[in-house]
Chains A and B, each alone.
Chain A
């Protein structure tokens, strides 16, 4: 930790940073309004899949970068799960060195264009910004600036291919190609390992591809990053389920010497209430996979999806927001969120809730479904819901919801998307007999090295944390890559 503080201090003391700080009075910086991201019109965007956010112009980015005070004690960094040198990248923007800003981001974050779009900044860096904490003003728009720098680099066509150490010929396997797997693979390759990523689906990217919709994270953005990794020499094998197509033991026999498991939390939860298996009721994973991965909304593709008139989405997380906004885009007249707590407890990113509202999504907070009914063809046609109230905080720190008696009523729905959370994917764990697991089905790892109970087997991301975030998954991937490096170097020495 001390080393980091020291490094930040040295970086901050550089001449160019000092000059920038002097170039404008702090008063002037703090008197500025936070800039807004450009967005597509809600009434137009809710009918297509174009990306909602349009980014910052150079002009807006410069204005926003000037707001940053380049604090001597940059508290924002402590809110970032991968410890991006935030003031440094922002000051690079301030100095008009946009490519340089992207380089700073990539020191610690392999996918800044993704994180700039999907990180819950209001709970992380921006929540710890000096503006938020001390000035009680809107934080520096760190997320918008991150996205700006990453997009600038991509659009410039000058995406830097990271330097790869000379190949050491040691084969390592990465299982799962979500953010955890991708970041582990990138780091291991940089260290010179012969890296193969095994992915169960036919596409690389994990949730970034099958879950998060195009209007929030265009596939193209993810593909650029994946192609950079291909150029670095990372090998990708799709349609390969480790534990089914071949076991970890089989792969060991093929010469793989260490493994990173980033298989995610792919198992959808249902509520187990009566009628939940009627037609027209989906898990959010199924609904989003049909639309995002299989292109079901495009008539040229064979996969069907049911596009309802009255769509209810159960839940209050990002997945719920993505599902309900997708339903609207598929033509729903009424698309609503049914969530058992109040808006304040919603785990979704603030921006998604705001965007959903602008797009005409109805919010039924403090409501919970108790039973579904169907027509003679078995298609859901009504849901009975009950009203809820909040009590004391529970283990998650959020206030626990209680049903209000005699408050039940029914509404018409023809499509329901259940988005009440996911559990870790059990395929890998159940294929490795001695792997130590928690009661929740997550893999137990050492927090520093990310090594599991089996030497040479590392894990990170949602398979270790349960449903978490992109940035935490990436941070785990990096840590694990370092842990694997250490493990393999010691093994080689022996």
Chain B
């Protein structure tokens, strides 16, 4: 049982939860995630650790409402408990001093990107961050990103904030202007796919952090598997970060949709119970 000690909404559908998890707070590194199960009847879902405080023994998760479990998470209040939290899982991001790092985050992918931005900055890199969202009110963690980035570029679909356009436009602007040594992209699969195509044009090594469906998170089931460079990889133990130019994003999108029907039905049922 892990207690929620703080909750803050970033936007209507995105909130941050700070959770007691002392051991995980000590051992986690940027790139790690946890698997949570809200209650006895809940499913196990992966969530990236956005930050942690080893002294207070807490980890911070950022959750976007996309289905039943995330909706239930957002309905929890400070003082409530999450039944199971296990981690830290996955391989940590390989952080080194390499020069200029272009980080791109879309939607709720911005949250897992934060510790990576922080890590690369602290390692002495020049870090440029592109944040993309549909509109102004969906831009999250801007302030925190600015703290660890040399520059933050904001892109919105509707132009309500920053520059109007896609994440790839913001990335290309930077690439055309200066030498980029490494890129890290996190967000919806479709965004990562096009971000990867963009950096590939310019031959920039790029990592993508994949958020596939998972069950155990320890390599036991293969629910998270994906083709990378023609080989099957388990995202939970071999990843979650992979060479973005080798990932089969189309397969990833298809696999993410494996339970679409069940998920929609469950979500509708859930909405009925809350109303």
Report A's interface with B, CB cutoff 8 A. Answer: 200-202, 238-241, 244-246, 250, 266-268, 270, 272, 276-280, 282-283, 285-286, 289-290, 294-295, 300-304, 306, 377-379, 425-427
Nearest-CB residue, chain A, relative to B69:
A302
Other-chain residue from A245, A277, A306, A379 in contact with B27 (beta carbon distance below 8 A)? A245
Please indicate which of the listed interface residues B85, B216, B225, B263 has the most CB atoms of chain A within 10 Å of its own CB: B216
A280 to B255, CA, bound (A): 9
Closest 9 CB pairs of A and B: A378-B254, A286-B221, A304-B262, A239-B86, A266-B220, A279-B258, A283-B222, A302-B43, A303-B43
Q: A202-B86, A238-B84 are in contact. Are A302 and B266 (CB under 8 A)?
A: yes
A224 to B271, CA, bound (A): 38
Given A304-B263, A427-B237: 17 more A-B contacts, CB < 8 Å: A201-B86, A202-B37, A240-B23, A241-B86, A244-B89, A245-B23, A267-B219, A268-B220, A272-B232, A285-B222, A289-B216, A294-B44, A294-B215, A301-B42, A378-B251, A425-B218, A425-B220
Kindly list chain B residues whose C-beta atoms are within 8 Å of the C-beta of A245: 23-24, 27, 86-88
Kindly list chain A residues whose C-beta atoms are within 8 Å of the C-beta of B68: 302
Other-chain residue from A276, A285, A306 in contact with B259 (beta carbon distance below 8 A)? A306
Shortest beta-carbon distance from A141 to chain B in Å: 35
Nearest-CB residue, chain B, relative to A285:
B221
Kindly list chain B residues whose C-beta atoms are within 8 Å of the C-beta of A300: 41
Kindly list chain B residues whose C-beta atoms are within 8 Å of the C-beta of A266: 218-220
14 A/B residue pairs, CB under 8 Å, sorted by A: A202-B37, A240-B23, A244-B89, A245-B24, A267-B219, A272-B232, A290-B215, A301-B43, A302-B42, A304-B262, A377-B254, A378-B251, A425-B220, A426-B237
B198 within 8 A of A: no
Please indicate which of the listed interface residues B220, B227, B237, B257 has the most CB atoms of chain A within 10 Å of its own CB: B220
Count residues of chain B with CB under 8 A from any CB of chain A: 39
User: A interface, by DSSP: helix, strand, loop or mixed?
Assistant: loop
Interface residues in B5-63 (C-beta closer than 8 Å to A):
23-24, 27, 37, 41-44
B175 within 8 A of A: no
Interface residues in B244-275 (C-beta closer than 8 Å to A):
251, 254-255, 257-259, 262-263, 266
Shortest beta-carbon distance from B190 to chain A in Å: 15
Kindly list chain A residues whose C-beta atoms are within 8 Å of the C-beta of B226: 277
Kindly list chain A residues whose C-beta atoms are within 8 Å of the C-beta of B266: 302, 304
Kindly list chain A residues whose C-beta atoms are within 8 Å of the C-beta of B225: 270, 277
A26 to B69, CA, bound (A): 65
Q: Is the CB of B223 within 8 A of A200?
A: no
Q: Is the CB of A244 within 8 A of B42?
A: no
A371 to B41, CA, bound (A): 36
A301 to B24, CA, bound (A): 27
Q: Is the CB of B83 within 8 A of A289?
A: no
A283 to B225, CA, bound (A): 10
Shortest beta-carbon distance from B90 to chain A in Å: 9
Q: Is the CB of A244 within 8 A of B88?
A: yes
Nearest-CB residue, chain B, relative to A376:
B254
A277 to B235, CA, bound (A): 13
Shortest beta-carbon distance from B66 to chain A in Å: 13
Q: Is the CB of B251 within 8 A of A277?
A: yes
Other-chain residue from B44, B254, B255 in contact with A303 (beta carbon distance below 8 A)? B44
Kindly list chain B residues whose C-beta atoms are within 8 Å of the C-beta of A238: 84
Nearest-CB residue, chain B, relative to A211:
B220
Shortest beta-carbon distance from B198 to chain A in Å: 25
Q: A276-B232, A302-B266 are in contact. Are A202 and B84 (CB under 8 A)?
A: yes
Q: A245-B87, A246-B27 are in contact. Are A286 and B215 (CB under 8 A)?
A: yes
Shortest beta-carbon distance from B257 to chain A in Å: 7
Shortest beta-carbon distance from A369 to chain B in Å: 15
Kindly list chain B residues whose C-beta atoms are within 8 Å of the C-beta of A240: 23, 86
A290 to B44, CA, bound (A): 10
Kindly list chain A residues whose C-beta atoms are within 8 Å of the C-beta of B251: 277, 378
Q: A277-B227, A282-B222, A306-B258 are in contact. Are A289 and B86 (CB under 8 A)?
A: no
